[in-house]
Structure 1
Amino acid sequence: MKLSNLTLSTPYLSLDPIFFHEIAPTPLKNPRLISANLKAAKLLNSTLELHHEELENILNGTFMLKGSRPYAMCYAGHQFGYYVQRLGDGRAINLGSVNGLNLQLKGSGITRYSRQGDGRAVLRSSIREYLMSEAMHALSIPTSRALAIIGSDEKVAREQWERGAIVLRLSPSWIRFGSFEYFFHTNKHKELESLADFLLQESFPHLVGVEEAYLKMYGEIVMRTAELMAQWQSVGFNHGVMNTDNMSAIGITIDYGPFAFMDTFESGYICNHTDSGGRYSYDNQPRIGYWNLERLAHALSPLITTEKLQLELEKYGNYFTTKLMTLLRDKLGLDTPHEKDSDLLRVLFTLMENGRIDMTPFFRTLSQYDGNREKLLLLTLAPNQLNEWLDRYDERLALNSSSVEERHQQMLRTNPKYVLKNYILQEAIDAAEKDDFTLVNNLLMLAQNPYDEHPDFERYAGITPQQHTNLKLSCSS
């Protein structure tokens, strides 16, 4: 089945017109397909075929899928802690939904919510989002997906003149914490309730008709968000812009702007150079997740009593800690919990920071640890500290019921060999700006198979070159 034969629906447009702006995409000049993602295509239809020219036209807005009524969504949000009363899709246009997924073009032109923006996305940021959403999915971290990306000859002004691009993104929902904030702060409580009902139908159908459905939905959002924060922390992922308008109401990772997989471990790492105060630093992400959920609870207070919302919110810490400890035990190959595990992990992360250890290759090397410490000690500037920790680790492993071989197999399935660090993505961007898209497609394959061996890309599995370590990026990244 061809993509052009899909029929979309637009249930969001059944809401009051205040929720959206119907607007057609604005085509780019001389579009060209950079990459298409066959794995994502299967989400829309298991037999879906992707064709070069067809994809270019759909992404560029010159071919409209049957049933599509393009629109931008209205929402508000707290940006770096300050409330902004109306934001909305300033450079994203929704096409409609099929098979439980909402199709959205990012970089497709000006909408009512663009403010002073141009409605465009540049090639570098589009490549980063296209590849990163697939990388996160392969790591089993809930995320939006990406179907395809086009480049163009369109000139877009950022720090310098760049070329425009468009990504076709997929998500079960594009509703955000900020969507609820908009209707709460404008005292449109009827519309607030309509939005809650829509989200229930779209993403929490098992709660429709259940007593206290709104409260139970909020409780699930708390749990999903807490567990998502734990998943980010476990792989060293720094989102960079955790504004409430970038927080998914279904607990998935969305809106990839300035982000990073950490290189050498640095608990206070900030990947966004705009974030001068470190509000969205790596170690602050769990706290900000909670803070954002407080804002959502406040927005839902016309529908649910504050006391009941607070009781659900207070479960956040337990959800987060339980999930994080499970993930970290898996990373260490510990098959049963032990009361001293938290201290073992605390010491490990301290020595990773003191020893300037690159997180991903360290855990991957640890996945093959059999008592020989030579390879591990080469990864740190503090070998004595690591040796002391390994003594404790050996004692802890003795409590395992699994064999060494079973532990190795489990850890190799848990600790990726490859994550898309920013210097790796930059190599693909540099080539793409010269119209060479080979590395973009190679990295897509690498992103989708992060636990496998890829001899041709072995250099990407090692320690990040010092000059590229823990860089900061702009919001246009």
Structure 2
Amino acid sequence: MKFSNLKLTTPYLNHKPIFYEKVDPTPLDKPFLISASQSAAKLLGVDEDLALDEELINIVNGKTKLEGSETFAMCYAGHQFGQFAGRLGDGRAINLGKINGQNLQLKGSGLTLYSRHGDGRAVLRSSIREYLASEAMHGLGIETTRALALIGSDTDVSREKWEKGAIVLRLSPTWVRFGTFEYLNAYGEHDKLQELADYVIDESFPYLKGSEDIYLKMYAEIVKNTATTIAKWQSVGFNHGVMNTDNMCIDGRTIDYGPFAFLDDYDPNFVCNQTDTQGLYSFSGQVGSAHWNLDMLARTLSPIIDYTLSEEVLDDTFRSTYENVYSEIMYEKMGLQTKQDNDKELYLGMLRALGNATIDYTEFFRKLSRFNTNKSDILDICVNREPLDKWLDRYSERIEKEALSVAERHEKMLAVNPKYILKNHILQEAIKKAGEHDFSMVNELLKVALAPYDEHSELEHLCKPTPMKSKNIKLSCSS
């Protein structure tokens, strides 16, 4: 099946126009293909080489429509940095339609009713980050939107400086956000809250159909899925940067990659978004932010779900789900197959030691995956050796109680502790080359993003240590 032969449907357009605006994309000038993910294409049933599809660029550029496509932008509201921001919506994203349970969307495709003071565009810099991060999170086993293709252009776009425009073709089982419900509630469209909830159940939670208290059970699934995703973020050192309610997907997957970062040195208080001057969405603050957002959603849904019952679900489900998922992942990352009474304190002590040692988070776990009681390989990458020196003594005693052989433990740990992470300094290097029309590094990063646990001996340069000047840098929201 060729991509250009796909036939889409548009079930979201069965709603009233308050939910969306029909709008055509505005094509970029002189578009060209930068990269395409065959892995993402498989979700659509596409098995032919995307790069050989002569219509791919025109479709991503919005110049050609797939059969059945009716293009539209979705309306939503949201809390931004804790304050309700009113109507927002897809200001530069245009939806194409749906196939195989995936909704196709162009990001950077031009003005919509919801563009506000924006230009409806996305620049090459941020589009490369969105494209690669989407596929990298999938490679790490974290629920996420996907990215099928990235095109560049000769269109000039004004940000802090003039940059070139680009478009990413994104995929997701749903584009409904917490903020979609917030919009309907805030503007008194309470009857449409139930309509949207029914749509969400059809699209994301069809197994709930026929259940009693179906909307409460829907909310419980949203809570559970969100807690699971946040636990996975924390385990790999991912900082989203903009956890506004309009950036929270209703099925719990990661959505909207702006000023994100993967930790360099382990710093629980790291804030990757330079706009976030209060540190609301710091790395360690993401758990609390997710809980707060879920509470805002519960309040929004109160016309169709008793708020008291929603709060009970939130209190009973979020923290327990988060802690269970996070703990299990951390045990796996440490190579623990059995459970001992002090294992939780062992990983909490490890995190404290990492915070005091000044050590690369990802590199630590990759080296721990080959630990054989010789501490020097790990301690040599610390600024402050003492905290981890003491912790490794405790760890050595603990793994002696495991039945696995050293080789078996190493194999299992290497399968859960990635070697390749999209560090910002590596991304910036790829972006710099792309600005010179060299996209080789973008495609190299795509390869390791989709298989981050493999060795890729020919791509060792993509996991080089972060230069001191580039460690845990902050990024702007400008894109």
TM-score range, shorter chain: over 0.9
Q: 2:135 matched to 1:134?
A: yes
**Cα contact 1:42–1:48 (8 A) shared by 2:** no
Q: What amino acid sits opposite 1:80 in the alignment?
A: F
SS of aligned partner of 2:55: helix
Partner residue in 2 for 1:312: 313
Q: Say which SS state the counterpart of residue 35 (structure 1) adopts.
A: strand
Alpha-carbon distance in structure 2 between the residues aligned to 1:222 and 1:157: 39
Once residues 462 and 62 of structure 2 are traced to their aligned partners in structure 1, the CA distance between those partners, rounded to angstroms, is: 36
Which residue of structure 1 lines up, in the alignment, with residue 473 of structure 2?
A: 471
* CA positional deviation for 1:461: 2.4
Percent identical across equivalent pairs? 55
State the distance in 1 between where 2:162 and 2:384 align: 44
* Number of the residue aligned with 1:276: 277
Q: After superposition, what is the alpha-carbon deviation per residue over 1:356-396, rounded to whole angstroms, capped at 9, x for unaligned?
A: 11000110000001111121111112222212111100111
Alignment-derived partner of residue 42 in structure 2: 42
Q: What code does the residue aligned with 1:20 have?
A: Y
Equivalences for residues 338-377 of structure 1 within 5 A: 338-377=340-379
Answer yes or no: is the 8 Å Cα contact 2:357–2:386 preserved in 1.
Answer: no
Whether contact under 8 Å (2:145, 2:170) holds in the other structure is: yes
Name the stretch that deviates more: 465-474 or 398-407: 398-407
Q: 1:3 to 1:459 in 2, by over 3 A?
A: closer
Equivalenced residue count is 477
**SS state at 2:415 partner:** helix
- Could you tell me how far apart the structure 1 residues matched to 2:462 and 2:13 are? 45
Q: In 2, Cα distance between the equivalents of 1:80 and 1:185? A: 18
Aligned counterpart for 1:395 among listed residues 382, 394, 397: 397
Partner of 1:393, secondary structure, is helix
CA separation in 2, counterparts of 1:313 and 1:222? 7
CA contact (8 A) 1:41 1:49 kept: no
SS of the residue aligned with 1:150? strand
Partner of 1:296: 297
Question: Is 1:447 the counterpart of 2:449 in the alignment?
Answer: yes
Which stretch shifts more, 192-201 or 37-46?
37-46
- 1:53 offset after TM fit, Å? 3.5
The answer to whether the 8 A contact 2:201-2:209 is kept is yes
Provide the TM-score with structure 1 as the length reference: 0.99
Structure 2 letter corresponding to 1:143: T
Change beyond 3 A, Cα 1:443–1:200: same
Counterparts of 1:362 and 1:462, CA distance in 2:
13
2:146 paired residue number: 145
Do the aligned partners of 1:29 and 1:154 also contact (CA within 8 Å) in 2?
A: yes
Per-residue deviation, 1:463 = 2.5
Q: Is the 8 A contact 2:2 2:53 kept in 1?
A: no
Which 10-residue stretch deviates more, 128-137 or 462-471?
A: 462-471
Given residue 376 of structure 1, which amino acid in structure 2 is its aligned partner? I
* Displacement after TM superposition at 1:52 (Å): 5.0
CA, structure 1 residues 48+14, in 2 after alignment: closer, same or farther (shift >3 Å)?
Answer: farther
Confirm or deny that 1:413 pairs with 2:422: no
For 2:156, the equivalent position in structure 1 comes to 155
* Partners of 1:351 and 1:382 within 8 A in 2: no
The alignment yields a C-alpha RMSD, in angstroms, of 1.0
Work out whether residues 33 and 52 of structure 1, in 8 Å CA contact, stay in contact via their aligned partners in 2.
no
Structure 1 unaligned residues grouped into runs of 5+ = none
CA distance in 1, matches of 2:380, 2:49: 47
Cα shift readout 1:452-474 (whole Å, capped 9, x = no counterpart)? 11223223324311111001001
2:28 aligned with 1:9: no
**Offset at 1:352?**
1.1
Runs of 4+ in 1 over 2 A off after TM superposition: 46-49, 459-463
Give me the whole-angstrom Cα distance separating, in 1, the residues matched to 2:462 and 2:362.
Answer: 11
Q: Helix, strand or coil for the counterpart of 1:283?
A: coil
* Paired residue secondary structure (1:476): coil
Displacement after TM superposition at 1:55 (Å): 1.3
User: Which secondary structure does the structure 1 equivalent of 2:257 belong to?
Assistant: coil
Q: Name the CA distance, whole Å, in 2 between partners of 1:471 and 1:387.
A: 27
Give the equivalent residue in structure 1 for 2:88: 87
Cα distance in 1 for partners of 2:233, 2:438 equals: 31
3-state SS of 1:346 partner: helix
User: Alpha-carbon deviations, 1:411-443, whole Å to 9, x = none?
Assistant: 000000010100111111111111111111111
Give the 5 Å matches for 1:207-356.
Answer: 207-314=208-315, 315-356=317-358
Which segments of 5 or more consecutive residues in structure 2 lack a partner in the other structure? none
Match of 2:27 in 1: 27
CA offset at residue 2 of structure 1?
1.6
Letter paired with 1:383: R
TM-score by length of 2: 0.98
**What is the Cα deviation at residue 177 of structure 1?**
0.3
